[in-house]
Amino acid sequence: MSTLRFHAVKASLKRKPLKIKDVKRRSEIFGANVFNEPSMRQYLTSTALNSVLEAIDKGTKINRLVADHVSTGMKEWAISKGATHYTHWFQPLTGATAEKHDAFFETIGDGLAIEKFGGDQLVQQEPDASSFPNGGIRNTFEARGYTAWDPTSPAFIYDKTLCIPTVFVSYTGEALDFKTPLLRALQVVDNAAVAVCKYFDKNVKKVNASLGWEQEYFLIDSALAASRPDILITGRTVLGHSPAKGQQLDDHYFGTIPARAMAYMRDLEHQCMLLGIPVKTRHNEVAPNQFELAPIYEEANLAVDHNSLLMDVMQKIAKRHNFTVLMHEKPFAGVNGSGKHNNWSLSTNTGVNLLSPGKTPMSNLQFLTFFINTIKAVETHEELLRAAIASASNDHRLGANEAPPAIISIFIGEQLTKVLKELETVTKGKLSPKEKTDLKLNVVGKIPEVILDNTDRNRTSPFAFTGNKFEFRAVGSTANCANPMTVLNTIVAKQLMDFKVEVDELIDEKAMKKDDAIFNVLREYIKTSKAILFEGNGYSADWEKEAKKRGLSNNKTTPEALKIKKAKSTIELYNSLGIMNKIETEARYEIEMEDYSHHIQIESRVIGDIARNHVVPTAVKYQNVLIENVTGLKTIYGDRFKDFAKAQLTLIEQISEHIEAINSSVTKMIEARKVCNQQTDLEKRASGYCKEVKPFFEEIRYHCDKLELMVDDELWPLTKYRELLFTK
């Protein structure tokens, strides 16, 4: 065993779980480090408090004078909690969160100093933004960007620093982050949904989109992770032979959580409680060393912030436990990868979940309206939804027989399929009183409050209705949820707006009753959105064929999937709803295309390096041992040596063949990379990386993995899968 590998395994075997002290009741510490309503009541004047609450509720602006009051209260609260610094906390398009800390401390002359934090510092900052991805926006316009306070997501203290959630925009107002378009989309869906709700209940004033994410991840001992250059640099293993035992015994899923992992989770959950992240569920996932964590769902903007914060906190807490968290969608070949299900629903200020069937025919008609409009929205914009989850790392997972395919479809279950079938037969035009009573009593009225399809929840579906919410399952584990949430809320908003226009037209022009009009429009939607509904096995080859016939997109790679993002229809959609203007939409497209090329470029370099500098030299070393052995046998046995050296001679030859194959593939891969790098067209470069460079990964890996099986285990430099995955 190489020294590095030996010490890594030895260190990991010695580790004991950290002793974690739990509080008796977690509810008592929940939100202790968050500037939430109770803390605000204590530290803010009533004018300041009301102003913030109104901003949260109605999106109103907070004036500068009030901001000064808020900042003073916030500072006092933060200092009382031991904070020394503050930062604007934001989510640039790198995918990570960004922060730049400043101390409250200020000198005031004469050797004196105070703690200061004014309204100006709270409301706006200008981080040096030129190093964040901007897709050319700031080159075209101003070279500056600024962060601005988002009062709808509360400030919190982490590591003695007051973190203020902010949006990040260019000086000319273009969004440079994930949050800005999300906030716009949430506003638009709020307005559109409230307008539709008025058909059913005039008291509805606000509709919130909710998000409950489920985060999957791997925990690997940090010494083992550090012994693999591929994990350190790319977050995944680029080679490694499958262990004798993988996940085929299904003994990890929902199994007993290993003691070290449990100590980590408890520590993490404690931190989450302090930060107000309402984590609730933890369990083992399918693959060895794979786990899941899920919170109670929250308003979507807050949930997105909490997920981003969580991903950061997970890594920090892991260090204390000598773990490295692998968030990558496919860290190990041959065992399951990780996703992040996004559970989504809409709820009103009157406490109604619009995606939950109710007790009366009227509330069920409301449910059906939102249910069918969501289906219609996904049907119309399936390709855009696919693009929202596209990334180099998620490409490994989609369609890999463990995650949904790259085809977007919706599973609704048997009961609702039946309801839609019956609604489809509703007569066109005005309904007779008998028909309407029949429909209300026997179809709409019969939808049970609890949908019983939970038993046959189709795990192969990328977008499934699960009783009172839709679950978008194709989101990648590293993704910022803002992206899929922006798209989903935008397309549903657009659909609800179209629906309202159509219904109103029937009411105004055809003098239809409201119910008749709604039934008529919904019936047409059911007819026209059938292609997206699929109850079968999404992993099967038949589905690919069938989906093609139905005209559904099947964009298997990121460069293909992203193209829709700069289509005219997309630009028009975002622009008309005020989510993003043309420049913003195109900039994002560029950033993502570029990001894809960079990812593949880095992985390609890592693979080339490991294959040439780790694997090949080790194989040569072992081949020399064999040659020495054969030479020795020849000395002893003369011409008869072959009788005793058969296996060795075969191995010597095979090793040479694998070395040759690796070497020539790496050379060709480097050549292909050079061609791509000279390509100035972003799209062509990404496509080149995808089609010309990436195919070598598998080829090189195949030969390296074969060598792993041949070469003396003592010589093998890279920590093996069995050690990475089974060392607890």
* Partner that binds at residue 337, options ligand ADP, Mg ion, none, CB closer than 5 to 8 Å by kind: none
Question: Which of 469, 523 has the CB closer to ligand ADP?
Answer: 469
Q: How far apart are CA 664 and CA 436, in angstroms?
A: 73
The tokens describing 180, both together, are 């800005």
Q: Do residues 584 and 133 touch, judged by C-beta distance below 8 A?
A: no
Q: How far is the CB of 473 from Mg ion (least distance, A)?
A: 7
Select the binding partner of residue 379 from ligand ADP, Mg ion, none (C-beta < 5 to 8 A, by kind).
Answer: none
User: Which stretch in 47-55, 121-129, 293-301, 361-369 sits in contact with ligand ADP by CB under 6 A?
Assistant: 293-301
Among residues 295 and 559, whose Cβ is nearest to ligand ADP?
A: 295
Judged by beta carbon distances under 5 to 8 A according to partner kind, the member of Mg ion, ligand ADP, none in contact with residue 295 is: ligand ADP
Closest approach, Cβ 452 to ligand ADP, in A, equals: 14
Q: Which residues bind Mg ion (CB under 5 A)?
A: 214, 341
Cα-Cα-Cα-Cα torsion 700, 703, 709, 710, nearest 10 degrees, comes to -130
| Contacts (CB under 6 A) with ligand ADP, residues 330-359 | 341, 343-345, 353
Least Å distance between CB 18 and Mg ion? 29
The CB-of-290 to ligand ADP minimum distance in angstroms stands at 14
Minimum distance, C-beta of residue 299 to ligand ADP, in the bound complex (Å) = 10
Taking the complex as a whole, the smallest distance from the CB of residue 265 to ligand ADP amounts, in Å, to 16
Q: Which single residue brings its beta carbon nearest to ligand ADP?
A: 212
Q: Which single residue is written with the structure tokens 């100006």? A: 120
Output 179 or 469, the one with its CB closest to ligand ADP: 469
Beta-bridge partner residues of 157: 162
Q: For the packed helices 646-678 and 616-637, what is the interaxial angle rounded to 10 degrees?
A: 160
* Residue 285 binds ligand ADP (CB under 6 A): no
The site that binds ligand ADP (CB under 6 A) totals a number of residues, namely 14
Distances in Å between the Cα of 166 and the Cα atoms of 88, 99, 124, 149, 511 are 6, 10, 9, 4, 48
> What is the Cβ-side half-sphere exposure of residue 674, based on CA atoms within 13 angstroms?
6
CB atoms within 10 A of CB 448: 9
The C-alpha atoms of residue 425 and residue 433 are separated, in whole angstroms, by: 16
| Buried/exposed 646-670: b ≥16 CB within 10 Å, e otherwise | eebeebbeebeebbebbeebbebbe
Near ligand ADP by CB under 6 A: residue from 103, 296, 511, 602? 296
Q: Which residues pair with 637 in a beta bridge?
A: none
Is the Cβ of residue 354 or residue 561 nearer to ligand ADP in the bound state? 354
297 binds ligand ADP (CB under 6 A): yes
Binding test (CB under 6 A) with ligand ADP, winner from 396, 469, 658, 673: 469
One-character DSSP codes across 406-438: SS--EE--HHHHHHHHHHHTSPSSSPPHHHHHH
Which position among 212, 288, 331, 361 is part of the footprint of ligand ADP (CB under 6 A)? 212
| Rounded Cα–Cα distance for residues 463 and 288 (Å) | 26
* Residue with Cβ nearer ligand ADP (43 or 344): 344
Q: Least distance to Mg ion from the beta carbon of 455, Å?
A: 15
Q: How far is the CB of 418 from ligand ADP (least distance, A)?
A: 23
Q: Name the residue nearer to ligand ADP (CB basis): 322 or 466.
A: 466
Contact between 290 and ligand ADP per CB under 6 A:
no
Q: Considering the rule CB under 6 A, would residue 276 count as an interface residue with ligand ADP?
A: no
Specify the residue, 146 or 297, whose C-beta has the smaller distance to Mg ion: 297
Structure tokens at 297: 């769902």
Task: Give me the phi and psi of 224, to 5 degrees please.
Answer: -65, -45
Candidates 122, 126, 147; CA nearest to 71 is 122
The single residue among 97, 121, 210, 336 that binds ligand ADP, judged by CB under 6 A, is: 210
CA pair distance 170, 141, nearest whole angstrom: 8
* Residue 360: burial class (beta carbons within 10 Å; 0-12, 13-18, 19+): exposed
Rule CB under 6 A: is residue 468 a binding residue for ligand ADP? yes
| Strand pairing class (410-411; 463-465) | parallel
* CA gap 194, 205 in Å, rounded: 6
> Which residues contact ligand ADP by CB under 6 A?
210, 212, 214, 294-297, 341, 343-345, 353, 468-469
